Amino acid sequence: MTEITRTFDLLTYAEAHFPKEIALAVKRNDRWESFSTADFRKHVDEFSLGLLAMGFEKGDKIATISNNRPEWNFIDFGMSQIGCVHVGIYPTISDNDYLHILAHSDSKIIIVSSEEMYTKIKPLFDQTPTLKEIYTIDEVKGVKNWNEIKALGVKREDELRPVLTERKKAVDPEDLLTLIYTSGTTGLSKGVMLTHRNVVSNFLLAHQFVTYLNPGDRALSFLPLSHVLERVGNYLWQSKGLSIYYAENIETIGKNMSEIKANTFITVPRVFEKVYDKIINKGRELTGAKKAIFFWAVKVGDKYDPNPKKRSLVYNMKLALANKLVFSKWREALGGELKGVISGGAALQPRLARIFWAAKIFVQEGFGLTEMSPIVSATNSFYPQVKFGSTGIVPIGIDVKIAEDGEILCKGENLMKGYYKEPELTAEAIDKDGWFHTGDIGEIDENRMLRITDRKKEIFKLSGGKYVAPQVVENKFKESQFIDQLIVIGENERFTGALIVPDFIFLHNWCSLHKVKYVDNVDLVRHPKVIARYEKEVEKYNAEFEKVAQIKVFKLICESWTPESGDLSPTQKLKRKPIMIKYNHLIEEIYRGDQNN
């Protein structure tokens, strides 16, 4: 793969090694629309020529806010092959975040996907003097369209084609490729500067983790391409010769997966948990022998070990039967040809990985950060390079060590250049010896297998001096069918507490079965029978932890947490400080209520 040193070299590589009729596809207006490798090249070059016609220079910034679609690739490669810098922005952040990123990034123009996004961004565009123009990808009446940029290039192609050739040659692997703004769970997001070498080295290194995928296989894409994992995965699939299909939206993943018979996809644990919950809820709707067989198979899967020497002959016979009777139907529901799933962005419940491996679907967990482009470690598709509860093997080419306080430190070709216009923050993150301080606590064994235990900044101390690692507790409790989300609290308090968001679909079904009547979710979370059931659930999972980490008092929340509500980041991580402020009255009840006086 020495031919690929810059991201846009992927297209040249594809033209030489696996040109195809369906390089990229998207479902819109209820039909799949596809683009060949030749179409891909045509759109990319036309966009590059158009930018040259507009006077764009190497290093100029261009912002995009878009759903996943083939045009994102045309725009991405089109700007990068003339040395412009892509500022990809999440479609679900707040107005304040948009204003910060648009101004801080020095973007010259912005390209948005749709009329809805244009309506949202236009007032913010008007407040950002560095932005000169706004374009849409969809046709919107009275608004400039990205096709107009391409048309400028086509008009002057004879003149500008030699310029494009020279500009492509002038792009160095060490040149800045992108600014990716971290999701900012604590404060204003930082612009991570990644070069072509950072990103290319990372997706080429990732080939060792997806040897089961072959040219012509199909990947479904639905995580935002502004998310570093999905973006680098998008490049990875292209470098492997896969066809990439972009889902309609997050709600149609299952349907789209079946339609294309997907072989792989990238997800975050939150989405994967919902897929699993949907399967289990289908099982609960069964009756009699079918229901008994379904949950017998689940119990068999829960005991799966990736080490074949730890699986007895009797267990393997049970597993084969479970696959024939139950898990084969799971695979069929996911399209029937799914080989492997990559999960990142947060810790995955070991139980989920275990049961899908039992069902002959590789679920590969990794550890990464935007600053590391992003992969630091990953589990492989074969033993011994997989261990449930671990984030996998640190590959050769990336250096990891554990600091005295347990923090994970990293080095490698994939380490960012720094934070844009933030030299002080860069110096805080990367020490004088070149080690990046991840902020994560973990351990690495003699086989380079890495395990994350918590975020350094999220571990808190109770008033008695004992420490609690909240993520470990949260991840275990989320195995419960009753719990959608929770945040573990207790800093400087006498005991550990929690705010719990019920899985309302599951809870509503439970209430129907147990004849619990309620008006709405506000009424529901106050119902004595519901609270008693959650007390039982908390007691069950508390048994897994030492006393200091056990949840003594909790409050049920009557609303779901989403990026739109401001409680989760765009990558589905808890925004702890905003949640603590929003529910301060409930936290006061937990620690200052009459029962705790």
Q: Using CA atoms, how far apart are residues 444 and 456, in angstroms rounded to an integer?
A: 16
SS3 556: strand
CATH for 36-171, among 2.40.37.10, 3.40.50.300, 3.40.50.980, 3.30.565.10?
3.40.50.980
What share of the chain in percent tops pLDDT 70? Answer: 98
Number of Cα atoms under 13 Å in the Cβ half of residue 325: 19
> Is pLDDT at 459 greater than 90 in this prediction?
no
The answer to whether residues 52 and 78 touch, using CB atoms and an 8 Å cutoff, is no
> How sure is the predictor about 309, in pLDDT bands with cuts at 50, 70 and 90?
very high
pLDDT at site 184: 54
Find the radius of gyration of the CA atoms of the chain.
25
pLDDT in tens, 443-458: 999 999 999 888 787 8
Instruction: Name the residue with higher pLDDT: 241 or 472.
Output: 241
pLDDT at site 597: 40
* Angle subtended by helix axes 146-155 and 37-53, to nearest 10: 80
pLDDT in tens, 545-584: 989 999 999 999 999 998 888 898 887 888 898 999 999 9
pLDDT at site 424: 94
The arithmetic mean of pLDDT across residues 324-331, rounded, is 96
pTM: 0.86
> Is pLDDT at 317 greater than 90 in this prediction?
yes
pLDDT in tens, 481-534: 999 999 999 988 999 999 999 999 999 999 999 999 999 999 999 999 999 999
What would be the CATH architecture of the domain defined by 460-596?
2-Layer Sandwich (3.30)
Comparing CA positions, the residue from 79, 72, 122, 117 lying closest to residue 99 is: 122
Number of Cα atoms under 13 Å in the Cβ half of residue 385: 15
pLDDT at site 542: 94
pLDDT at site 1: 47
Which token pair is 493?
Answer: 């308090």
- Give φ, ψ of 66 to 5 degrees: -150, 155
pLDDT at site 183: 65
> Is pLDDT at 141 greater than 60 in this prediction?
yes
pLDDT at site 187: 65
Point out the least confidently predicted range of 86-90, 249-253, 347-351, 376-380.
347-351
Domain boundaries, the chain: 36-171, 264-454, 460-596
pLDDT in tens, 158-174: 999 999 999 999 999 99
Residue 582 is given by DSSP the state H
pLDDT at site 301: 97
pLDDT at site 466: 84
Angle at 107 between CA 101 and CA 112, to 5 degrees: 80
> How sure is the predictor about 186, in pLDDT bands with cuts at 50, 70 and 90?
low
Helix H or strand E encompassing 301: helix 288-302
CATH for 264-454, among 3.40.1080.10, 3.40.50.300, 3.40.50.2300, 3.40.50.12780?
3.40.50.12780
What long-range pairs does 291-299 form, CB within 8 A, spacing at least 24? 293/325, 293/326, 294/326, 296/322, 297/322, 297/325, 297/326, 297/327, 298/326, 298/355
The arithmetic mean of pLDDT across residues 295-321, rounded, is 97
> Is pLDDT at 263 greater than 90 in this prediction?
yes
pLDDT at site 469: 86
pLDDT in tens, 334-347: 999 999 999 987 77
pLDDT in tens, 246-258: 999 888 999 999 9
> How sure is the predictor about 205, in pLDDT bands with cuts at 50, 70 and 90?
very high
Q: Give yes or no on whether 36-171 and 264-454 have one common fold.
A: yes
On average, the pLDDT of the chain sits at 94
CA distances (Å), origin 522, targets 445, 480, 591 = 47, 21, 21
The arithmetic mean of pLDDT across residues 398-427, rounded, is 96
